[in-house]
Amino acid sequence: MEKRKSSCAGSTTVAATLAVFLLAFTGITVYLFIAKPWWFPKPITDVGVLIDSQFHRTLIITGIVFVMAQLGLAWVVFRYRDNGQKASYFEGNNAFEVAWTLATIVLFVGLGLYAESAWATVHFTPAAPGDLQIEVTGQQFTWNFRYPGPDGKFGMLKPSMVSASTGNALGLDRSDQDAKDDIVSPIIAVPVNREVELLIRSQDVTHSFFVRELRLKQDAVPGMIIHMHFTATVVGEYDLACAELCGLGHYKMSSKLKVLSEADFAQWMKDQVANQ
């Protein structure tokens, strides 16, 4: 290959350093994903387990592509470093471009087709009859959870009656027969191994109901009641956060999800009835 003047030649050190950096960067990244020093908390629903296995499948495939691409880059950086040779120009390789575009399509469509129908199970199929319904209301910057009470019916809400100072954050019309036994709580408690249906709404701006262990995140949109259902299988207390930047107090818009045994849940319900 034709040489340029030797004074213009590049340095092997620069190319080698960059190649070594790429190797180290790839190694550290792969290590962090395998050792998992920071990882998701364990899922507490069967759907969460399905979502995790799909996540792992995607991660393994994209991980292999990532490692190959980084190793290829490190090799090219070192192999074709500036030795003082003249740069040559070429217009690319159509066969390669078609091949990797097709490979990407096959990969993404394939992963989509192979995916467990976990997400669709939650969003497109309704909860089974006899589930426990809980209404979730987001408002700047708190969560309120309403249970229909022993009659199983949610009472009337009147926006004109919303008053945080009198403790009626939802505007519940207690004169309505169905509203008399409604229970409103700042945390959400659910019985273990029983299907729960959430009716998610917002009183002002868009919020987002998010519990990591449920692997569920759903926007609360003003003017809509969005249904979502889950069955928690592990007793415990979990953080619930608003996952939508909803204003200055967004950072403190959090609550708790308590998954209780059947007996503890019955007791919790009793305490709530006494407190209303």
242 is a contact residue toward Cu ion (CB under 5 A): yes
Tell which residue, 58, 53, 49, 54, has the closest CA to residue 214: 49
- Cβ 222 to Cu ion shortest distance, Å: 12
- Cβ 251 to Cu ion shortest distance, Å: 10
Report whether 210 contacts 241 (CB < 8 A): yes
- Cβ 86 to Cu ion shortest distance, Å: 60
Q: Which is nearer to Cu ion, 26 or 202 (CB)?
A: 202
Exactly one of 253, 257, 259, 260 binds Cu ion (CB under 5 A); that residue is: 253
Q: Which stretch binds Cu ion (CB under 5 A): 8-16, 41-49, 85-93, 244-252?
A: 244-252
Exactly one of 146, 201, 207, 229 binds Cu ion (CB under 5 A); that residue is: 207
CB atoms within 10 A of CB 216: 20
Q: Which is nearer to Cu ion, 67 or 221 (CB)?
A: 221
Q: Which stretch binds Cu ion (CB under 5 A): 88-96, 113-121, 177-185, 205-213?
A: 205-213
50 is a contact residue toward Cu ion (CB under 5 A): no
Report how far residue 187's alpha carbon sits from residue 38's, in angstroms, rounded to the nearest whole number.
27
Tell which residue, 55, 265, 255, 36, has the closest CA to residue 137: 255
Report how far residue 257's alpha carbon sits from residue 232's, in angstroms, rounded to the nearest whole number.
10
Tell which residue, 77, 75, 62, 72, has the closest CA to residue 29: 62
Tell me 172's DSSP state: B
Q: Which stretch binds Cu ion (CB under 5 A): 63-71, 89-97, 158-166, 241-249?
A: 241-249
Report how far residue 99's alpha carbon sits from residue 110's, in angstroms, rounded to the nearest whole number.
16
Residue 177 has, within 13 A of its CA and on its CB side, a CA count of: 1
Q: Which is nearer to Cu ion, 81 or 146 (CB)?
A: 146
Exactly one of 246, 257, 259, 260 binds Cu ion (CB under 5 A); that residue is: 246
Compute CA distances 135 → 60, 118, 143, 167, whole Å.
Answer: 38, 23, 10, 17
- Cβ 253 to Cu ion shortest distance, Å: 4
Beta strands 207-211 and 254-260: pairing type?
unpaired
Report whether 274 contacts 183 (CB < 8 A): no
Q: Which stretch binds Cu ion (CB under 5 A): 110-118, 176-184, 224-232, 239-247?
A: 239-247
Helix (H, G, I), strand (E, B) or coil at 165: coil
Q: Which stretch binds Cu ion (CB under 5 A): 165-173, 178-186, 204-212, 264-272?
A: 204-212
- Cβ 210 to Cu ion shortest distance, Å: 10
Q: Which stretch binds Cu ion (CB under 5 A): 92-100, 114-122, 228-236, 242-250?
A: 242-250
Cis ω before 210 (30° cut-off from 0): no
200 is a contact residue toward Cu ion (CB under 5 A): no
Name the residues that contact Cu ion, by CB under 5 A. Answer: 207, 242, 246, 253
